[in-house]
Chains A and B, each alone.
Chain A
Amino acid sequence: MKMTPLAVIVGSVLILATIVFVVVILPYADTSKTVPSGIFRQRTSEEAAGRATYIANGCVYCHSQSVRTIDWGLGAERIAQAGDYVADHPILLGSQRTGPDLSQDGGEHPDDWHLAHFINPRYTRPLSLMPPFEFLGQERLAPLIRYVQSLGLKDADKRMARQHFWKAEAVKAYEAGPDANVAWLNAHIPQGWRAIPNPYPTSEAGLARGHKIYQDFCLGCHGPVGDGMGPAQPWIYPPPLNFTILKNREISGGILYYQIMNGITGTAMPYFKRDLESEKIWDVGDYVAVYFINESDANSEPRGIDAAYEP
């Protein structure tokens, strides 16, 4: 084959044009008619402004918005559909997950949790390596939080309605004083859980593991001594629970387990069932009971048949 300049230039451009037709234009004809999915709604102008801030600060480089069939964790309740993205301009699928996928982040936390998290991510998530975004200032953080709370669109709206409802209830309970607050918290735990003591015995090893879990997950809000004065406290209302007032308030191991597992929707207390397996929740619950409440029901009746590993 004789490679004349014409052959090289015109030949390669023609090949490119053909391939653009096959892998860009044909798929465009195929996908540009995608119908909106069941959760789709348009964004408000404030959410759109927040999305612009999200783009300007490169959030997309660490947070995907693309939940796959193989995923666990944040957002994995819904596998992404093409119709979820019909208004995304540009689409923000992302290519890396240094942080969690945010497709369905809306309503996972109340607004005050997000504010504390943006001021410094380690306030709410001590192991995070996300940069602090305090420099954005309130005027850009507020729309950014609206955008994040809209992720998941109609599903996010339902979760946000749930957050707002329980936030009002939680504030009412908190403002009624510690006794009423603890009674309210306990009253919303299924009876079965309330009656269960921590079925495993307290041990030095278990407390050491609980201490590590506490530092990695809890310390930002509840503080190093469990008094609810962690660095996130100034941004959160109702403020993080002070464990040191809980003695003689009927806090069972089961109550602690349930609250850690399921979180308290409406407050900044997230659920940890995705982050922590069963043993880790029992361990950190007992750590809180022993060190901060100074009252642990570990290994008391009814405890069933002792687990095989117990000494």
Chain B
Amino acid sequence: MIADTKEIFENYATAKAFCLTSAFWMMVATFYGLLGATELIAPDLTANIGGIVFGRVRPTHINLVLFGFVTPGLLGSAFYFIPRLLGTPLYSERLGVATALAWNAALVALVATLAMGMTQGREYAELIWPIDLAVVAVFALAFFNFTMTVARRREKILYVSVWYVLAACILTACTYALGNVIWRPNTGALVGIPDAILLWFYGHNIFGLLLTPLSAGVAYYVIPRATRAPLYSHTLSLLGFWSLIVVYTHVGTHHLLQVPVPTWLKVVAIVDSVAMVIPVMAFLINIWYTAKGKLGEIHADVGAKFVFTGTIMYFFVSIQGSFMALPDVQRVTHFNNWVVAHAHIGVLGFAGMIALGGIYYTIPKLTGRPLFSRFLADFQYWMVLIGMVGFTIVLTIAGLIQGNAWLNGETVYRVLPEIHVYYVTRAGLGLLIFTSALLGFYNVTRSLLAKRGAMP
């Protein structure tokens, strides 16, 4: 009986499946990004291949990054640390693996349907109804598995990472269903201005209630473990957790400041966007004070290095995000590549870095062996970091050129040649990120699948 439990406990099939899922879809997602970036500099290169026309490539890239690469990566480590933190095996590894399989099936369907032009046409909510149902179902299944594990826990106290993972799964299941207007299967949309308000409420919650809490959960686990230091403050954990849910959910309308929506709603969105400083700094101070004086330990563990870098990017993207919600700033930044740069700091620099860090921190614990190659993981770290920072620089410059030129009365068409060179550089950096994903997949696969004893 005990041996049996121990075996399941050390098996971690679900965590492995999600890590592998993330590493695989990171390749596909970044390939789509590279393809889209290439099409913007050479639009006739893929002329008249309907399945990969830019307008279908872009949503595929975004959905795969969100739901194929980052979310499964973060869940991969969660399926490891939740049982560890609760002192009990996962409620059902079989259910967990089934969830991962369903997840992958949904991702395949996502790529196929978007390539065929089957889309509901709303950013982050493109997927057609059957896939929407599948996404809600997999979040619900993950939530069920985690909750049942919590119910069987042997450790009485719930650590902050557990709060974040539970909240992320249940709140995302709710807002995903709401934001995709799941009660209207044919269109998945409301009509007119209310549709825009609901869409951006949901769209921003993908970051606020899914990527951020899962990333915070991973950081709260990895940083204290890697530095062998107790968490700095329980009070800050509480403040960060509750204020995140209260504040982040109010900000969606900052995407609509220049649109005729009710002014009071814009005021709410702007005020809460600035107030985002509270959950962000509560989390960061907590993590950074925990790691204070222990950067050597963080450098020694490549997973922790990814995660810690992700927290620094969280600082930049969040402060920038508060700034961008100010109407005067948006006069320049709205509708152009500044926002694309912002999105890449957030999703690749923050959540993506932490997802990768969680995977690399967790895999040696899952297998009981070191990583196949620490060097490759470190190499990937630098490729992602340079690529991401490079994206930020060139796309921010391109955005400032566009925004200021438009404000000055130059037409969109006139500005295209002015940003061409930045688009070329961006595609080059995209190649760097895509290559890093190939190396990462090789490393993760060799680390997870090598037979016991096969290693030297």
Contacts and interface: CB of A to CB of B under 8 A. Distances in A.
Interface in A88-104: 88-101
B336 to A, nearest CB: 7
Contacts, number: 241
A122 B195 CA distance: 34
Interface residues of A, number: 76
Task: Choose among A27, A64, A130 the residue with the greatest number of B CB atoms under 10 Å from its CB.
Answer: A27
Interface in B25-59: 39-41, 43-44, 46-50, 53-56, 58-59
Contact of A131 (B46, B171, B199, B249): B46
A42 interface: no
A39 B269 CA distance: 30
A61 B268 contact: no
The bracket for how many chain B residues form the interface is 35 or more
A5 B335 contact: no
Given A57-B53, A58-B56, A72-B411, A93 B417 contact: no
A168 interface: no
Given A80-B259, A97-B335, A31 B175 contact: no
A82 B255 contact: no
A127 B190 contact: no
Contacts of A28: 190, 194, 197-198
Contact of B260 (A13, A80, A87): A80
Task: Choose among A30, A31, A69, A82 the residue with the greatest number of B CB atoms under 10 Å from its CB.
Answer: A31
B423 to A, nearest CB: 8
A123 to B, nearest CB: 11
Given A73-B411, A90-B121, A131-B54, A66 B192 contact: no
Contacts of B192: 31-32, 34, 82, 85-89, 91
Interface of A is mostly: loop
B196 interface: yes
A71 B406 CA distance: 7
B201 interface: yes
Interface string A262-276: 000000000000110
A27 B171 contact: no
Contacts of B340: 96
B191 A86 contact: yes
Contact of A73 (B150, B187, B198, B406): B406
B273 interface: no
A24 B406 contact: no
A22 B250 contact: yes
Contact of B193 (A91, A92, A128): A91
Contacts of B336: 96-97
B414 interface: yes
Interface stretch (B112-120, B277-285, B434-442): B112-120
Nearest to A72: B409
A16 B252 contact: no
B136 to A, nearest CB: 15
A82 B178 CA distance: 22
Contact of B163 (A3, A92, A120): A3
A96 B333 CA distance: 10
Contact of B191 (A66, A88, A100): A88
Given A23-B265, A90-B122, A274-B411, A96 B335 contact: yes
B134 interface: no
B250 A19 contact: yes
B308 to A, nearest CB: 25
A138 interface: no
Contact of A128 (B46, B334, B402, B416): B416
Nearest to B62: A61
A308 interface: no
Interface string B57-69: 0110000000000
Given A89-B187, A121-B43, A27 B121 contact: no
Nearest to B244: A12
B312 interface: no
Contacts of B167: 8-9, 12
A211 B49 CA distance: 33
Given A23-B201, A129-B41, A4 B158 contact: yes
A61 B39 CA distance: 14
Given A23-B201, A74-B411, A81 B260 contact: yes
A306 B448 CA distance: 79
A157 B252 CA distance: 35
A33 to B, nearest CB: 10
Nearest to B188: A90
Contact of B417 (A55, A58, A216): A216
A20 B178 contact: yes
Contacts of B209: 16
Contact of A5 (B118, B147, B187): B147
Given A3-B163, A56-B117, A58-B119, A93 B53 contact: no
Nearest to A88: B192
Task: Choose among A34, A85, A133 the residue with the greatest number of B CB atoms under 10 Å from its CB.
Answer: A85
B189 interface: yes
Contacts of B198: 24, 28
Interface in A198-226: 216
Contacts of A72: 406, 409-411
A31 B43 contact: no
Contacts of B197: 23-24, 27-28, 31
A114 interface: no
A24 B59 contact: no
A57 B55 contact: yes
Nearest to B53: A131
Contact of B121 (A8, A55, A275): A55
Given A56-B118, A73-B409, A95-B339, 7 more contacts: A20-B178, A58-B56, A87-B191, A89-B190, A128-B43, A131-B43, A131-B54
Interface of A: 1, 3-5, 8-9, 11-13, 15-16, 19-20, 22-24, 27-28, 30-32, 34, 55-62, 64, 66, 68-74, 80-82, 85-101, 120-122, 125, 127-136, 216, 274-275
Interface of B: 39-41, 43-44, 46-50, 53-56, 58-59, 117-123, 147, 150-151, 157-158, 160, 162-163, 166-167, 170-171, 174-175, 178, 187-199, 201, 209, 238, 242, 245-246, 249-250, 252-253, 255-256, 258-262, 265, 268-269, 331, 334-336, 339-340, 402, 406-407, 409-414, 416-417
26 contacts: A3-B238, A16-B209, A23-B253, A23-B268, A34-B192, A55-B119, A57-B53, A58-B53, A58-B58, A58-B121, A61-B59, A68-B334, A73-B409, A73-B412, A74-B411, A86-B192, A88-B192, A90-B121, A120-B44, A121-B43, A129-B39, A131-B53, A131-B55, A133-B48, A134-B47, A275-B414
